[in-house]
Structure 1
Amino acid sequence: MAQDSVIKPGSTIGILGGGQLGRMMAMSAAQLGYKVIGYAPEGDTVAEDVCHDFFANGWGDKPALAAFASKCDVVTWEFENVPVSAVEMIPPQMLAPHPRALEVAQDRLKEKRFVEGLGGTPAPYASVDSDAEYRDAAGRIGAPGILKTCREGYDGKGQWRVATDRDVDSVRFPGRSCVYEGFVDFEAEFSVILVRAKDGEVRFWDSTHNVHHAGMLSTSTLPAPAIVGEQVEEARGLAKKVAEALNYVGVLTLEFFATAKGPVFNEMAPRVHNSGHWTIEGAATSQFENHIRAVCGLPLGDTTTRFASIEMRNIVGAEALTAHEKLADDGEAHLHLYGKSEAREGRKMGHWTRVGQASA
């Protein structure tokens, strides 16, 4: 790796987005000796608490984005819905990953076609741009299924389940581009999280068993069921192809269904991921630290799992109000609260990580 590709400690990392992922990235960056400047529209920007400086400006504010970039040595992002138009205002040589990763991940239809082109298998799907197309897709693919907006849906938002053929009429086409997906009969859900360096080196963390409730991740656990172990190498192969096709630098996540016919691709996230929060305590190097290492051109850290069993559990809504009290009941649990001001129903407020005995 060329020495001039390394962003030296003492330099400044810019993070687009102000949520909990940016917060944890900034904490890892500080540990490695970097300063962090955040950028996000005004709101509950919890990353601001741990940043050296913060720009609370809109995504279309060209002067503010230029001023932000002028203070940074490298710029990355913490969530996939940062507008591509805003990212394109940052000098391209400063960006990691490449903005094409956002272009693909922000559109579910484009994402599925991209992964298919690399040999991956998504759930049965159809493009839907009208009520008539929705009804036609539901008729061809069948129920159960799910109607999803192509853009800006996450954690169960922008999604409508169609449990039976009789439910087609009760789900209304939302008036914007969607994808209708057929139900996948799966035994387990899992994610492949990798980090790719500037020189193309790729490392993987172990794949957790992910359980969702109401479209939101609830728990990620290791060891995962046997079927995940049987399918993880094929899934990793696809994830690596995606990273290479995008010339990706940093942490990349692909989510899968483990089925009787092999791994079925669900979606990708060009960023650190909720199902990788366990790596803070459970891996030799966390996803957050390795993302910082990658975008700064530093050597990647070891991704080995350190414990025989691990559980990460999200803290949602009002659960956060009593989280500190539970520390007395479980002295081995690691509590992470994100500093959000309002414990709304269905809102991720933090997470627990419990680890078992150290791996041999």
Structure 2
Amino acid sequence: MASDRIMVDTLTEDNGGDARSSSSEEMPSDQQSHPGDSLAEWRSSEQVENGTPSTSPAYSDNDDDDCGPRPSDLYGKFTWRIDNFSQINKRELRSNSFDVGGFKWYILIYPQGCDVCNHLSLFLCVANHDKLLPGWSHFAQFTIAVINRDPKKSKYSDTLHRFWKKEHDWGWKKFMELSKLHDGFIVEDVLTIKAQVQVIREKTDRPFRCLDGHYRRELIRVYLSNVEQVCRRFIDERRSKLSRLIEDKLGWSSFSGFWLAMDPSVRRHMTREKTETILKVIVKQFFIEKEVTSTLVIDSLYSGLKALEYQSKNKKAIPKLTETDARSTPMVLIDQDMFVLADDVIFLLERAALDTLPHQHLPTKDDKSSQNRTKVGTFP
């Protein structure tokens, strides 16, 4: 009997295709749902901890700019084991609530589908949403998995969503086909669902740390190529415009003459800009709601900003570089609260038009730790 079901819920704090609301008809284009042939070891914390090399840059959860909660303090895991799953006759089922990031959450499933047929529907929900104040709003990145007897076949889905009073649940109406549940997902009539939730303390004025270190390394293994694609498209679009300007010999010569004839003090003023002005534009450009890669891009930009700050503070200790080495040095430096061009404007523009981004090594099918997973959805 359904009333005899025993649901065991555990919460673990780790310090170290159709995502939508259950009541919404909108379907974001970029949410990621990973079918059963995915290699779950790419998603396991064990692989991070047993020495598998990470493709992500150096990451420290302790170098944020303020004394607020760190991403690791806003991250948690939850496991829900549903006994006697085949006997469930309810339309929907809720897990016990669990705490992450100072808020209570629960998992909501529709064993026979929510407004769809022959699919398991699955959502993450804010508990006690009816008591939320009208202005309550928080981003959360989360991953939900239905665990298979064979870990390599477990089904994972990731998404990023801003939860608020009127949109307090988010997930997948077609998380997976019901017919596939009997292919190793239901073991001794027990279905196991695992969730990872990262509450995000976003900022609008500068790049910020988004993700717990372990969770970030897990996601970067899946989405590295997509993050690289976002950055390359941004750079290539602007390089293309600059190249067309330089290729116009008459126009480029005219601009160069105009710039060199300008008073040096005016030129100096025009090569400086307030850091807050630039950083606000960067956050607005790259932190986009419902784009699952946004947190990884912002985390990488934060790391880049910290590296630039370090190089700017130690620029006097940098020896004279060869022309080849100079092309790998920053084009801008930070001087107190200002971004400052690091060299002559004409030289830097020509360098920007010629420089190419290095290609990040991506896992292949022949790699020992390759990711064999299918990605559903589109990216910006």
TM-score range, shorter chain: under 0.3
- Give me the TM-score of the superposition, normalised by structure 1: 0.21
Larger RCO (CA under 8 A, 6+ residues apart):
2
- Give me the TM-score of the superposition, normalised by structure 2: 0.21
Asked which structure has the greater CA Rg, the reply is 2
